[in-house]
Amino acid sequence: MRNARLFLDYLYIVIGSAITAFSVVAFLNPAQLAPGGVSGIATLLYYAAGWDLSTTIFAINIPIFFIGTRFFGRQYGVKTLLGSVLLAVFTWLWTRMLGESGVLDASREMTKWLSSLFGGVTSGIGIGIVMKSGSNTGGTDIIAQIMARYTPLTLGTSLFAVDGVIIAASALLFGLESALYAIVVVYIMTAVIDKIVLSMGTAYAKTVFIISDRADEIGQYVTERMDRGATLIDAKGFYTKESRPMLMTVIPNQNIAELSRAVRSIDRKAFMIVNETFHVVGEGYTPIEKLSETSDVTQR
């Protein structure tokens, strides 16, 4: 069962990386769209200095990979390295197959809009599939995760800050219109990723309630394997009046798929409730001592 799950995870990484690379080569790079991420940086360097897309993606991801491994562990690093390498490889393959002009006619007036729409959708699908495996394609999201862990910034704010710098640079290189289209790509891509990884919005994390007779085992997985806190709550069924343990934990969006798999493998009869959480303070998230008295707890 574990080997089958591991095989499926790596299959997700391969398929997702291929789709993400296709989005960059077919839609985003030819339309001069740099919606953040390492691929966005590669697009800027492609037009500013003539650097090869796949080589640039690989070169930038290598140091970020080592940083991610240092902060998030070896298992995280292995999957991330695979996603990073595959993204570069598939970018090279799609460029050889499709050429550098992509699949749309750049002379047409609607090309920019169509590139934004289909680039955002395909990128979201690809990245979302990779994230389903508990991995990513490397890149600036690792930097954002580190910022979210060690600063008062939420993950969403950190991602916005990192990608915002890249989009601002694209405005200087390609003009304001291209930067605005890049923002459209980010919006579409985020919405699609949310759907793929079972998120229903753009919240920072999920609060999960799990009612199970094997709550201790699930709690052990959460605390030891996922490095997250958990709380056991005594609950009583209204109809049966029987007491059952309920586990509560707060999980970042990118880890909800992993938790769902773990709960399913430990107790298929478990009852699991997942709620949006827009602001989390305390150990492992925003340090509570760094909050001002006027902090808006609904801020995303």
Q: Tokens representing 220? A: 């052990």
Q: Tokens representing 133? A: 């495996």
Last residue of one domain, picked from the residues 134, 168, 196: 196
Q: Considering its fold, how many domains does the chain have in total? A: 2
Q: What whole-number distance in Å separates Cα of residue 93 and Cα of residue 78?
A: 22
Tell me whether residue 230 is in a domain: yes
Tell me whether residue 109 is in a domain: yes
Do 138 and 223 lie in a common domain?
no
Q: Tokens representing 180? A: 């605005």
State how far the alpha carbon of 223 is from the alpha carbons of 7, 228, 247, 297, in Å. 25, 5, 12, 25
Do 166 and 216 lie in a common domain?
no
Tell me the average confidence (pLDDT) per consecutive run of 10 residues in the chain, 300 residues long. 73 92 96 92 95 93 81 69 89 95 88 95 89 72 75 70 91 95 91 67 70 91 86 84 88 81 90 77 56 35
Q: What whole-number distance in Å separates Cα of residue 248 and Cα of residue 15?
A: 33
Tell me whether residue 6 is in a domain: yes
**Residue 75's pLDDT is what?**
62
Longest dimension (CA), the chain: 70
pTM flag (> 0.95): no
**Residue 218's pLDDT is what?**
94
Do 212 and 177 lie in a common domain?
no
Adjacent-strand bridge partners of 249 = 208
- Quote the radius of gyration of the chain (alpha carbons, Å): 21
CA atoms within 13 A on the CB side of 144: 23
**Residue 197's pLDDT is what?**
64
Tell me whether residue 296 is in a domain: no
CA atoms within 13 A on the CB side of 36: 25
Tell me whether residue 298 is in a domain: no
**Residue 111's pLDDT is what?**
93
Nearest CA among 39, 128, 157, 119 for reference residue 87: 39
Do 170 and 213 lie in a common domain?
no
Tell me whether residue 232 is in a domain: yes
Do 189 and 222 lie in a common domain?
no
Q: What whole-number distance in Å separates Cα of residue 137 and Cα of residue 244?
A: 40
State how far the alpha carbon of 63 is from the alpha carbons of 56, 57, 67, 159, in Å. 12, 11, 6, 18
Q: What whole-number distance in Å separates Cα of residue 260 and Cα of residue 205?
A: 14
Do 85 and 117 lie in a common domain?
yes
Structural domain for 223, as ranges: 205-290
> Residues 289, 160, 39, 180: what is their CA dihedral angle, to the nearest 10 degrees?
-170
Do 140 and 38 lie in a common domain?
yes
* DSSP designation for 4: H
**Residue 162's pLDDT is what?**
85
**Residue 18's pLDDT is what?**
96
Do 14 and 56 lie in a common domain?
yes
Q: Tokens representing 48? A: 């500013």
Tell me whether residue 295 is in a domain: no
Q: Answer for the pair 138, 64: CB distance below 8 angstroms, yes or no.
A: yes
Q: Answer for the pair 15, 129: CB distance below 8 angstroms, yes or no.
A: yes
**Residue 296's pLDDT is what?**
36
Tell me whether residue 297 is in a domain: no
Do 91 and 232 lie in a common domain?
no
Instruction: Write the CATH number for 240.
Output: 3.30.70.120
Do 225 and 140 lie in a common domain?
no
Q: What whole-number distance in Å separates Cα of residue 163 and Cα of residue 167?
A: 6
Last residue of one domain, picked from the residues 155, 174, 196: 196
